[in-house]
Chains A and B, each alone.
Chain A
Amino acid sequence: MSVTGDGGAGQTLIRIRNLSKAYVRGEQFIPVLQGLDLDVRRAEFVALMGPSGSGKSTLLNLVAGIDKPSGGSIIVGGVDIATLSEGALADWRAAHVGFIFQFYNLMPVLTAFENVELPLLLTTLSRRERKAHVAAALDMVRLTDRVDHYPNELSGGQQQRVAIARALVTDPTLIVADEPTGDLDRVTGGEVLDLLDDLHRQLGKTIVMVTHDPKAAGRAERMVHLEKGVLVPDPAPGAV
């Protein structure tokens, strides 16, 4: 099954072809993704949905370059990341991917400012430039009054906003979000989704989000469903 975008090649940011991923545990071969094709357009907000074990997080990890496929190709911005060496892949992630995790994954010993600054340490920006970028990112998530606070001094929603600032501070091509509202209450989750919406609409960011929550998925432009490692057709609009 394939789900490919309708835009021209120039508009396609992610082009996945015949992607497969399997794990070997002892003598057991466990296929997770099988022969998957998927296109994501530049500036598109895509929600990956599916039951537990369907392979959506695995797909997200492969698209983000933190895992290697067993077969097929993942071309992001013209680069087949499946062929990159580990070091090159790390550099590619630093330059092109922003991460948002379910449990925020902030460094507990670093302040909000320092957490947001962390990906910038991998760039050639000067200290002053980094400071300006971090201030802008924290302003975008409305946390300028919390720059010196440590994660344990922030609420869950605030921590996720810091994580969003960290994801966007390098101005990445792609933002991947794994259950970004999974650990938040409905109201705070809504605020986080508003922020993702802003990133998509105002900054034109391409966002790929894994979620169980149909309401969260409803904020995306497009939903992609996975079941047992294969894509299934989009439900009709309004079916969610």
Chain B
Amino acid sequence: MEIRLDFIPAATLAAKDPVEKMDFILERIKRNVIIVLEEGLSPREEAELIAATMREIDARDFHGIEFYRLDSRETRLRERIANYISGKRSGLTIVGPTRMVEAIKKEPDCISMLAKAEVECPTDAPSVAGSTKGRKR
């Protein structure tokens, strides 16, 4: 069985308002697609993503998400302040359905994601720019 990963360029989400952005993310997650956002979510967007996820949870199919932001924590303070003022975000965010993503863990030199493919992957999911497929680890 295959696991589908969609890489979402920053430009795809740039024009969307917060609600549209969450809808875009969750629509894919609910179809068992793991997504990698080129531009990481801000903390407020992360909180909104959690709240939007809670609204979508149902007893049958969808139990939630796993996500991780590889952020600018390691960058210098000056860069972080400049990014904050300009509204620019660095890093990326990976989001997946909890039924497929067993764990996302920060290792000393990388972010490690353990995924499983117990569920049938959708075949009708539309492709987006940068979409790719990865084999089960």
Instruction: Decide whether A and B are members of one complex.
Output: no
